Amino acid sequence: MTESRSWTAALLIAASFATTAKADETGRAPSGTYCGQLSSAGVLSDAQTRFEVVAGGTVIGKYVFSDQGQSVDGELAETGDDGDGSDLTRSFMWRDKYGYGQLIVTFTSDFSEFDGKWNAGGSEFLPWNGRRCHQSIS
């Protein structure tokens, strides 16, 4: 009986450490929803970008922005970081109904904001930014 209680206590302690580690990790990683804007067809449009850290620390994401009153949904897949070891600047491939291209984002040190630039394969980069928000992507 005592052994059973000890095992239960050990599981509860381990679970609390895992929860604490996950909470700490979230503050140091680009995860969650960011509200901001991106340039589309020469206009800055409202956008929501959601990042999620998956196995191995790779980041994936989804986004939605308004294009002339219509919602456009897209996906992000990380292709790498800039190699400086800080994980603040990362590269993604974006894909939506208009095609695909590159997105490069640089996060603030607390991952509360990012400044980014995207292109569709050409040399011209356009702005894409966001700040953590509590809205969800529809």
So what's the pLDDT on residue 82? 58
What domains can you pick out in the chain, each with its CATH number? 30-132 (2.40.128.20)
Q: What is the mean pLDDT of each run of 10 residues along the chain (138 residues)?
A: 39 32 51 95 94 90 94 94 72 96 95 96 92 76
Say what the pLDDT of residue 84 is: 59
The pLDDT assigned to 135 comes to: 65
pTM for the full model?
0.75
Residues 6+ away with beta carbon under 8 Å from 99? 120
pLDDT at 129: 98
